Amino acid sequence: MKIALTVAFALAALVAMTPAASAARPDKPDCSLALPAVQSAVAAACDCATATNHGQYVRCAGKVVKGLAADGTVARSCRGAMVRVFAKSTCGKPDTVACCVPGACFVKKAAACEKRGGTVGAGPFCLDACNPASPSGAFLE
């Protein structure tokens, strides 16, 4: 019984000294606030219309995003979300469209989009194509 009480007090003391998990984690930044600046910077450095292939375009966009994160324009935790915006595009993929289906967006040929029951987006980015009511479509579901 004495050992059990000693262990219980030791655990209680350890829990009391350990900071709360929520206190240790800072608030997550709102990545959508930086999106217009990121889109402008990527558009200036990487031309969607003339990209020779999709990988080259996404690599270019990734370098821009990495630079913006390094100088503090974009939070480091937002880098992945920002690069995914450009990865889900038709840039460097000839004869493809942003295909919007309920709850998702895919980059497909127009015929494959229609076959899936999707709607062809007006622009090259899923972000904008599937959220036309939003000014930029930023991170809306």
Instruction: Determine the residue type at 86.
Output: F
Domain assignment of residue 135, yes or no? no
Q: What is the reported pLDDT for 95?
A: 93
Residue 43 falls inside a structural domain? yes
Q: Between residues 62 and 133, which one has the greater pLDDT?
A: 62
Asked whether residue 74 is assigned to any structural domain, the reply reads: yes
Mean pLDDT across 60-86:
95
Is 78 domain-assigned?
Answer: yes
Nearest to 93 by CA among 128, 62, 120, 58: 58
Instruction: Yes or no: say if 88 and 47 are a contact pair by the CB < 8 Å rule.
Output: no
pLDDT digits (tens, 9 = 90+) for 76-129: 999 999 999 999 999 999 999 999 998 899 999 999 999 989 999 888 999 888
Residue 140 resides in a domain: no
- Which of 84, 91, 88 minimizes the C-alpha distance to 49? 91
99, 86 contact by CB (below 8 A)? no
Q: Is residue 82 part of a domain?
A: yes
44 domain residue, yes or no? yes
Give this prediction's pTM.
Answer: 0.71
Q: Is residue 109 part of a domain?
A: yes
| Number of domains present in the structure of the chain | 1
Average pLDDT over the chain reads: 80
